[in-house]
């Protein structure tokens, strides 16, 4: 897609698959870069003014979401925003690593036994689901165990799930040892995840395998 002109409808379609998002998330999505993008700087406030997006102040900057995720103009739940920004960051980074993918937003999992923050389906059938955990949620061992048990009940051979946890790497390693073991489950601390170069999130060997503890890339053994 040419980055010099992107329609308002295109921004809105992308916003529907984002959760909360920074302007940089839109810029990365459309251009693959973090450079200043005047079209995005102009369009996002315009869509807010039209009521098509909602904006909130988060850590002294504006972040954006669609109205269904912010039921009032004054919506300012910092926990929800923190979690939503992390979910969007995961999605953007994975899609930049391979755009040849079908995106399954979190809302599509409602009513199912599992409800990840998002899913990705690749041409060969490989399904990658992801969960972003804030600092608070990542410390809730019982919540993580319950999620993993539900995943293990429904996961098939072509499924993998990665937990991106906003904790120090050593703490993530400690938590893994207390959770059910399975080779289709992966873990990474959020800082290491953010340090991966854009476009390399699938192939960089920094993820801890929940079955054997090996540090490997997500894309391996013919997946994706």
Given 44, 76, 108, which residue is the final one in a domain?
76
Beta bridge partners of 133: 165
The whole model's pTM is what? 0.92
Question: Is residue 29 a part of any domain in this protein?
Answer: yes
DSSP state, residue 111: T
In a domain, 84, yes or no: no
Contacts of 91 (CB under 8 A, 6+ apart): 17, 18, 103, 118, 130
pLDDT digit string (tens) for 81-116?
Answer: 999 999 999 999 999 999 999 999 988 888 778 889
Which residue, among 104, 109, 120, has the nearest Cα to 150 in the 3D structure?
Answer: 109
Which residue among 76, 98, 124 closes a domain? Answer: 76
> Could you report the per-residue pLDDT of 135-166, keeping only the tens digit for each?
988 889 999 999 999 999 888 888 999 999 99
Co-location of 54 and 94 in the same domain: no
User: What's the CATH number where 72 sits?
Assistant: 1.10.10
Domains of the chain: total = 2
pLDDT of residue 75: 62
Confidence of residue 76 (pLDDT cuts 50, 70, 90): low
Q: CATH no. for residue 153?
A: 3.40.1350
For 62, the domain range is 8-76
Residue 24 pLDDT > 90: yes
Are 122 and 128 a contacting pair, CB within 8 Å?
Answer: yes
Specify if 224 maps to a domain: no
pLDDT, position 222: 44
Judge if 118 and 142 occupy the same domain. Answer: yes
The band of 1, judged by pLDDT with boundaries at 50, 70 and 90, is very low
What is the rounded end-to-end Cα distance, in angstroms, of the chain? Answer: 23
Tell me, yes or no, whether 23 and 109 share the same domain: no
> Within this chain, do residues 39 and 98 fall inside the same structural domain, yes or no?
no
Read off the pLDDT of each residue in 23-38 and give the average, rounded to a whole number.
94
> Which string of b and e fits 49-87 if b means at least 16 CB within 10 Å?
eeebbbbbebeeeebbbbeebbeeeebeeeebbbbbbbb
Torsion sign across C-alpha atoms 158, 96, 93, 170: positive
Q: Are residues 58 and 100 in the same domain?
A: no
């Amino acid at each position: 897609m040419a980055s010099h002109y992107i329609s308002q409808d295109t921004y809105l379609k992308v916003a529907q698959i984002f959760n909360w998002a920074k302007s940089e998330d839109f810029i990365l999505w459309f251009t693959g870069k973090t450079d200043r993008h005047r079209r995005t700087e102009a369009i996002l406030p315009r869509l807010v003014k039209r009521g098509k997006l909602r904006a909130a102040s988060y850590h002294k900057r504006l972040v954006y979401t669609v109205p269904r995720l912010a039921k009032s103009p004054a919506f300012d739940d910092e926990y929800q925003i923190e979690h939503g920004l992390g979910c969007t960051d995961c999605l953007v980074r994975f899609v930049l690593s391979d755009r040849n993918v079908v995106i399954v937003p979190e809302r599509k999992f409602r009513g199912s036994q599992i409800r990840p923050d998002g899913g990705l389906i690749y041409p060969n059938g490989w399904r990658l689901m992801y969960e972003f955990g804030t600092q608070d949620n990542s410390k809730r061992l019982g919540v993580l165990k319950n999620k993993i048990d539900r995943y293990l009940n429904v996961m098939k051979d072509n499924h993998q799930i990665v937990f991106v946890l906003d904790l120090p790497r050593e703490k993530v390693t400690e938590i893994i040892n207390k959770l059910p073991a399975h080779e289709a489950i992966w873990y990474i601390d959020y800082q290491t995840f953010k340090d991966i170069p854009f476009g390399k999130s699938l192939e960089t060997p920094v993820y801890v395998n929940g079955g054997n503890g090996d540090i490997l890339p997500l894309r391996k053994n013919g997946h994706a």
